[in-house]
Amino acid sequence: MQHSQYLRIESLAGGVSCSNREFIRVARSKLSPAGKRRANRGFRHNWLRHGLIQLRSARNLYLGIAAGRAAV
């Protein structure tokens, strides 16, 4: 998932504090009908997994800054 694409999905889902489920729901709404087909299931799962990794990274950064730790 491209970073710009991730940012659009994250903002529509409610920001860094959105749940994984909300993120996936918004991400799936952005897929074309061909992207939702069974034949593309593996690609779709990898795409969503990469987006969730980016979300986890953003949450860790946000929580680190909120707790007063330096960003790594």
User: How many domains is the chain built from?
Assistant: 1
What six digits make up the tokens of 24? 């996936």
- Give pTM, 2 decimals: 0.84
CA separation, residue 72 to residues 10, 33, 49, 65 (Å)? 21, 39, 22, 10
At residue 58, the pLDDT reads: 94
Short-list 55, 63, 71, CA closest to 11: 55
Mean pLDDT, the chain, integer? 92
- Domain for residue 29, yes or no? yes
At residue 65, the pLDDT reads: 82
- Domain for residue 72, yes or no? no
- Domain for residue 47, yes or no? yes
60: domain range?
Answer: 3-66
- Domain for residue 71, yes or no? no
At residue 67, the pLDDT reads: 74
pLDDT-derived band at 72 (thresholds 50, 70, 90) equals low
CA separation, residue 38 to residues 44, 57, 58 (Å)? 9, 29, 30
The residue length of the chain stands at: 72
At residue 40, the pLDDT reads: 97
Give residue-wise pLDDT tens across range 28-68. 999 999 999 999 999 999 999 999 999 999 999 988 887 77
